Structure 1
Amino acid sequence: MVEQPLIESRSAGARWRALPPWLRIGALYLAARAVTTGFFLIAAAMSGVGSRFGENATIADFAVGWDAQWYWLTAVSGYPLELPLTDSGQVAENQWAFMPIYAYLAAALGTVLGSWIAGAVVISLSAGYLSALVLYRLWLPRVGESAAMWAVLFFVSGPLAALFHVGYAESLFMLWLFLALLLVARRRYGWLYLVIPLMGFTRPGVLAFALFLGLFGIWRWTRRRSEALSGREISHIVALGALGVIVGFGWQVIAAVATGDAGAYLATELAWRRNWLTGDASGFIPFEGFIQGAEFWFVSWGSSALIGVIALSIAVVGVSALLLFHPAARRVGVEIRWWAASYLLYLLAVFFPQSSIFRLLVPLSPLWGAVAVPKRTAWRVGVVVVALVGQWWWIYNMYALGNTYWQIP
């Protein structure tokens, strides 16, 4: 009487494993999206007068909220040739902070589907699924089939998985990024000449990829005796790194030419930072934002600016040590580790930490492969539970309670 259910259970597991990976990942992705949709429905019901979305909010309101409005405005109005100014004469928030590919691709699809937001959400959902497929291929030879599939579940159920449902460019950017990492891991550099511009004009971050290529190239040079390094590969790495730099600064040049203001893009980006800092900004200074942020937040929490800087320094050292020495991190491969280090350094250089920091960490999603390495089922199930709790916390704060200052996704 006991053996039959066990046999049925094993056969069910065998049938699941026999399915092609794209189908299993699709099933996991659809299940995860159903859960996220449920979270959004609850958040809409809880949205009140204090929320940006007000009472009687809908999922459609959430999908087109926050930065999605800027992408929509970009699609319908283009980019301002004259920078808008605040009452104090400073550059105001405007479309130049948002890259064009996602906005216009959503507009093109939206002409078929009936609205810009419909096109945007379809792109986000589709790119999220394709990103999961690419990540699986990236993880599979490093951590094995079981861990790779668990890592996919972590990714599609993660704390920021709501981004697959809204008009943000993150899903599409991740697709280009993960494709680029997979191409580097397989030493197939030719397609990167297309992927890097797609990445660079979808959202900021391609400069981090250029830094990654530089670090990866140095690593390949040091390992040339154990893995042959041809002159052709050296040429590709150097040329692609240069392309990443050109594309990374290209949008600044385009903004400067279009507006006649050499600092148009940086002034636009700094306009958002003024929501937290008072006084006139002297301009962009690398790494200043995170130092200012550490001081700002720790003073706000009743501590001191010095403690904030010390805590930031300890966090940087701690994360660096994990990426370099932790066995699980080493399992996912040098490409993912160098990318994570490059992107974190990029964030330290350009970003002021506030509530959007959670969203800006999603390009580190390849590290889910390291989280899935421990084979204990209790650990893996626990990660899924924590991820879903984090997802609800983020949706609740950014949408049900979301306001224009403290809860910005």
Structure 2
Amino acid sequence: MADGVLTSGVLTSGVRHWVRLPVVGRIAIVYGLARLVTTGFLILAAQVSSPASRFGQAPSLRDFVLGWDAQWYWWVAVNGYPSSLPLTDTGGVGENAWAFMPAYAYLSQWVGVGDWATGAMLVSLVAGFLACLMLHRLLRRRIGSTAAMWAVAFFASGPLAALFQVGYAEVLFVLLLLVALDLVAVRRYWPLYIVLPLMGFTRPGILAFSLFLALHGIVRWVRRDREPLPVRQIVHIIALGLLSAVIGFSWQVIAALVTGDHSAYLKTELAWRRNWLPDASADFFPFEGFVRGAEFWMSQAGLPAWSGWVVLAALVAVAAWMLLRGRAVRRLGSDIRLWSASYLLYLLAVFFPQSSTLRLLMPLTPLWGALAVPRSRGWRWGMLGLCLLAQWLWILSMYGIAETFWQVP
């Protein structure tokens, strides 16, 4: 009896001290603990890595920082972009640096003072912490501070948590995205003229933000009787939507001007698709990637191609229902739902679904809030446990085993 009272008192005191901490302090603790766990997982992955792995036997954490696409960002920082596109033995355009935007690459080189791996790790770590702060700020007005803190815990400990510590641009892009969504939410449009160009040259996805701004403007217009829509805000929304579109296509123009090939960027992106589909079209067609991908993965399972269309249609229907009718998602507000719909449509239009698809879903980070809305304590702790389990399995596959065609992050 006395032990139970003592334990209850200690827990109550701990909760009281936790609540008294400033939000920044609580997020720092959550983020720091999450990074310790991820570091432990990466060390374990290094222990199980074999000579058959991409990383060889007993790789270092630095090897992981520089692994996979991080090598391309390092190459951009050190060597820049090619003035002529490399060709494969069959005459097609080969993989090259034009698929990777410059902002993260050069920022990491600057932060690391020439030591790109150290700079990349620092940029990802700091951007991740700032992204957690912005996620809490974005969500707390919608689902409350406690639920927003749980969303931060899910984000910091989720399946893709290794990206907070390796040389990938996703976390920096998510930080800029959360800043942009928060600015839209509070109707402060003018700073977006700075944020959007940074987003656009960090990672592909700015075209989805252009679509989001168009949908946001339509919703604001429909609701103008409930929320005033001044002319200056209309001008900002239209101008920023056009700016996002211009930025989204500008990289293609830059690649064309440097290489002399008007399709240099698209041909470069399609070079990766041919690793999966040797007979892939030499030209880009919207939505073809996901259709061919659905057929490909069903064929890998020994099923007919049409079953892939059924699965793809079902996934689209489920995603649409969740964004339109899902009660927990609706709690997040129209802007987060519109962004999520815009980005998912963008993915359907331009990407081929493969082992990197989970990573490509990271810009949907605000949806963690739907899993953190007021629920039982058991649900939240159980969800955190699933996040950690999924994180370990992802790290084990992509950085520990890393020896089959689908183990590419």
Tell me, yes or no, whether TM beats 0.5: yes
Deviations 1:218-263 (A, max 9, x none): 1111111111111111111100000000000000000000111000
- Superposition map of 1:205-354 within 5 A: 205-279=205-279, 281-354=281-354
> Displacement of 1:281 after TM fit?
1.7
Residue of structure 2 equivalent to 1:21:
23
Residue of structure 2 equivalent to 1:391:
391
Residue of structure 2 equivalent to 1:120:
120
> Displacement of 1:404 after TM fit?
6.3
Deviations 1:68-110 (A, max 9, x none): 0000000000000011111111111000000001000111111
Q: Partner amino acid for 1:87?
A: D
Contact 2:273–2:280 (8 Å) recurs in 1: no
Residue of structure 1 equivalent to 2:176:
176
Deviations 1:140-192 (A, max 9, x none): 01001110111110010000010001000011101100000000011100100
2-structure distance, mates of 1:6, 1:117:
46
Identify which range, 309-318 or 118-127, moves more after superposition.
Answer: 309-318
Residue of structure 2 equivalent to 1:79:
81
2-structure distance, mates of 1:51, 1:286:
35
Question: Over aligned residues, Cα RMSD in angstroms?
Answer: 1.0
Q: Partner amino acid for 2:180?
A: A
Contact 1:136–1:152 (8 Å) recurs in 2: yes
SS of the aligned residue for 1:83 comes to: coil
2-structure distance, mates of 1:318, 1:306:
19
Q: Partner amino acid for 1:343?
A: Y
> Displacement of 1:375 after TM fit?
2.0
1-structure distance, mates of 2:108, 2:271:
26
> Displacement of 1:278 after TM fit?
1.5
1-structure distance, mates of 2:216, 2:396:
39
Deviations 1:332-357 (A, max 9, x none): 11111111100000000000000000
Residue of structure 2 equivalent to 1:155:
155
Contact 1:52–1:404 (8 Å) recurs in 2: no
1-structure distance, mates of 2:69, 2:85:
19
Residue of structure 2 equivalent to 1:70:
72
Contact 1:209–1:244 (8 Å) recurs in 2: yes
Q: Partner amino acid for 2:36?
A: A
2-structure distance, mates of 1:219, 1:169:
31
1-structure distance, mates of 2:156, 2:130:
11
1-structure distance, mates of 2:190, 2:115:
36
Q: Partner amino acid for 1:298?
A: M
> Displacement of 1:56 after TM fit?
1.9
Contact 2:267–2:282 (8 Å) recurs in 1: no
2-structure distance, mates of 1:227, 1:7:
48
Q: Partner amino acid for 1:237?
A: I
Deviations 1:374-405 (A, max 9, x none): 42111000110100010001000001111362
Residue of structure 1 equivalent to 2:44:
42
2-structure distance, mates of 1:54, 1:48:
6
Q: Partner amino acid for 1:47?
A: S
Residue of structure 2 equivalent to 1:193:
193
Residue of structure 2 equivalent to 1:407:
407
> Scaled by the length of structure 1, what TM-score is found?
0.98
Identify which range, 315-324 or 3-12, moves more after superposition.
Answer: 3-12
Residue of structure 2 equivalent to 1:3:
5
2-structure distance, mates of 1:404, 1:84:
25
Residue of structure 1 equivalent to 2:108:
106
2-structure distance, mates of 1:374, 1:103:
39
Residue of structure 1 equivalent to 2:56:
54
2-structure distance, mates of 1:304, 1:33:
43
SS of the aligned residue for 2:67 comes to: coil
> Displacement of 1:210 after TM fit?
0.6
Deviations 1:356-375 (A, max 9, x none): 00100111010001110142
Contact 1:47–1:400 (8 Å) recurs in 2: yes
Q: Partner amino acid for 1:387?
A: C
Contact 1:26–1:129 (8 Å) recurs in 2: yes
> Displacement of 1:302 after TM fit?
1.1
1-structure distance, mates of 2:337, 2:371:
13
> Displacement of 1:280 after TM fit?
5.2
Q: Cα gap change, 1:155/1:125 in structure 2, threshold over 3 Å: closer, same or farther?
A: same
> Scaled by the length of structure 2, what TM-score is found?
0.98
Contact 2:289–2:349 (8 Å) recurs in 1: yes
1-structure distance, mates of 2:308, 2:167:
34
1-structure distance, mates of 2:145, 2:94:
49
2-structure distance, mates of 1:363, 1:191:
20
SS of the aligned residue for 2:373 comes to: coil
2-structure distance, mates of 1:305, 1:110:
48
1-structure distance, mates of 2:379, 2:6:
28
Contact 2:95–2:271 (8 Å) recurs in 1: yes
Q: Partner amino acid for 2:300?
A: S
> Displacement of 1:214 after TM fit?
0.7
Contact 2:270–2:282 (8 Å) recurs in 1: no
- Pairs aligned (count): 407
> Displacement of 1:279 after TM fit?
2.2
